[in-house]
Structure 1
Amino acid sequence: MAGWRVVPVSVTGPEHVRRGAGNQDAFAWRADGDRLVLAVADGAGSAVRSATGARLAVDAACDATAVLDEFGAEPARRYAGRVLGLFDRRLARLGGERGDYATTLIAVVARPPAYVFLAVGDSFLVVEHRDGGAHLVVPPDNGPSLGSTVFLTSRGRATAVRCGVIEDPEITGLALCSDGVLDAVLAAGRDADGEPALLAPADFTAYLRMFADPAARPSDLAERLRSPDFTASSADDKTMVLAVRA
């Protein structure tokens, strides 16, 4: 899409490689007129059809943008409802137990200076500001009130859906990430109220700025996600979808 460079990468976690299992993450991105849609889903390792659930989730995120006639809090809620409705209907056609398709989802519809987001579960969103560094704006949510990660197939999903709109003309990059990269790319810190919180460290900007250069290749990011540092941090599949303003 004009104005953006998108770099999507997903690598199979070492534990899945060892067991001969496939990658249970999924990603999608689509240019839709003057909008850019980005989505990452992380299928639950314990669910036998979670890779299918993850694919249904990201496809629903890309197919639901028609309800965004404008960008604001109420349209964001309509978008979230449309995504979840599409996911549920398509899942019902497949049959079987809902829990077999358990997956999280993070999605962004970008039309600068506005960005609608939807999140369910522990995937997360980092944005880069022009001359302002990286900021974790949609943190991972492990569903503390329910005691475990909330999935699109969970009964407690309705209370765990996070959606909204970010309006900021200074955003120059987006990074949608599955929780497999959480320990490697986020840092423990404190929020504005002094409470413990996860933060995007200063060196996170290196991921986005590296791929602002058209010479950088997705394989460079994939190699990084397979590096010993990332492997040591998590045995899970690792997915990042980067979008950088050209």
Structure 2
Amino acid sequence: MIVAGASVQGTAHLAGGQGCQDAFKAVDLGGTAVLAVSDGAGSRDRSALGAHIAVDAACRLLAERIPDAEEPPEAWTRWVAGRGGRVVEEYLRAVAGVLGAGALRAEAGAPGTGAGATGTDVGPGAEGLDADTRAADTGTLADTRAADPSPLTDTRAADPSTLAATLTAAVVAPPWVAFVSLGDGFGTLLTRDDRCHLVLPPPAAPAPFLSSPGAALRVRTFAVWEPDLAGVVLSTDGCAALALDHPAVHQLPPEAGPLPAAGFFLGLAATLRENHGDAEPLRRRLSGPEAGRTGDDLTVLCALVEGG
């Protein structure tokens, strides 16, 4: 499995002196990979930290007890549905720990909290595949993992919405891909016949955050069986202008909805296969003038099946 990703500060954030509020993390399990991207709410004070907590919680839970590829669809559907609600619960517990035991330290100006790097990537030579240790304060995140999973009522001491973030995650276990999503990220499948399919489109209406009331009941979860799977790409909504086509580009009516830009996804896959997962070309693409049209942060994370 080739796993690579990059996160780039949006031009609007750069102009306003605001750090990158996206986060991503991947866990490479050999023939299986767990991917997660998150977009922090730009209007909230510590949303970047919330995004890093989100991807950490998602990867930790989704890497556990993954069904075998031979198991029936019902097993995959049931497993990912159960994990979806638990990801929200784990996120809220981690946030409660930060706001309870570690909030004063974070608010006092601990280095790196609330600000991401202008360009974070994962590729050969990276320390594992955990981007949160490179774009945020590792001490704060260590507190998140080590904090006592106190009751959610501990959040009365501080407002959890200050760490508001979305989540788009996937478990890639060919021929299966299982998705967990709450927010406006999107997911695309690549197949061996050089086609791309937007199986997780951005929502048509504004999406809630992981910290929103009733978030666990609004998580989208589903599993896809694709025998010709070649890769999976997750993106935050800032990448929509770069990675998605308006249906008119393909002579389709508006109700057809956005479609994956084949040139972007297939070109990305070809480049990463040629350079064995070096994410630098992806980071440059996300930093280019075409990508900066929205002004938002941009994050792309992918897993490519070897030989796919």
Q: How does the TM-score come out when normalised to structure 2? A: 0.72
After the TM superposition, which residues 70-219 of structure 1 pair with which residues of structure 2 at under 5 Å, given as runs? 72-95=76-99, 96-141=158-203, 144=205, 148-189=206-247, 195-203=255-263, 204-214=265-275, 217-219=278-280
Structure 2 alignment gaps of length 5 or more: 69-74, 100-157
Alignment counterpart, residue 21 of structure 2, candidates 10, 24, 28: 24
Deviation at 1:33, TM superposition (A): 6.0
Q: How many residues align?
A: 238
Equivalent-residue separation in structure 2 for 1:196 and 1:169 (angstroms): 25
Partner of 1:235: 295
Pair 1:51 & 2:48 matched: yes
Name which one, 1 or 2, has greater alpha-carbon Rg. Answer: 2
Deviation at 1:53, TM superposition (A): 0.7
Aligned with 1:125: secondary structure? strand
Query: Counterpart amino acid of 2:165?
Result: T
Q: 1:33 to 1:201 in 2, by over 3 A?
A: closer
Deviation at 1:88, TM superposition (A): 1.1
More displaced, 155-164 or 170-179?
155-164
Cα root mean square deviation, aligned: 2.1
Equivalent-residue separation in structure 2 for 1:97 and 1:68 (angstroms): 34
Aligned with 1:73: secondary structure? helix
User: What are the Cα deviations for residues 91-148 of structure 1, in whole angstroms up to 9, with x where unaligned?
Assistant: 1112221211111111111111111110111001011011041111101125x2xxx3
More displaced, 109-118 or 199-208?
199-208
Equivalent-residue separation in structure 2 for 1:170 and 1:33 (angstroms): 18
Alignment identity in percent?
34
Equivalent-residue separation in structure 2 for 1:67 and 1:86 (angstroms): 16
Contact 1:38–1:241 under 8 Å retained in 2: yes
Q: How does the TM-score come out when normalised to structure 1? A: 0.89
Aligned with 2:42: secondary structure? coil
Q: 1:223 to 1:34 in 2, by over 3 A?
A: closer
Q: 1:156 to 1:84 in 2, by over 3 A?
A: closer
Contact 1:127–1:173 under 8 Å retained in 2: yes
Structure 1 alignment gaps of length 5 or more: none
Equivalent-residue separation in structure 1 for 2:3 and 2:174 (angstroms): 15
Deviation at 1:35, TM superposition (A): 2.6
Contact 1:119–1:162 under 8 Å retained in 2: yes
Partner of 2:60: 63
Structure with the bigger percentage of strand: 1
User: What are the Cα deviations for residues 53-91 of structure 1, in whole angstroms up to 9, with x where unaligned?
Assistant: 101110011110324345511101111122112111111
Structure with the bigger percentage of helix: 2
Runs of 4+ in 1 over 4 A off after TM superposition: 190-194
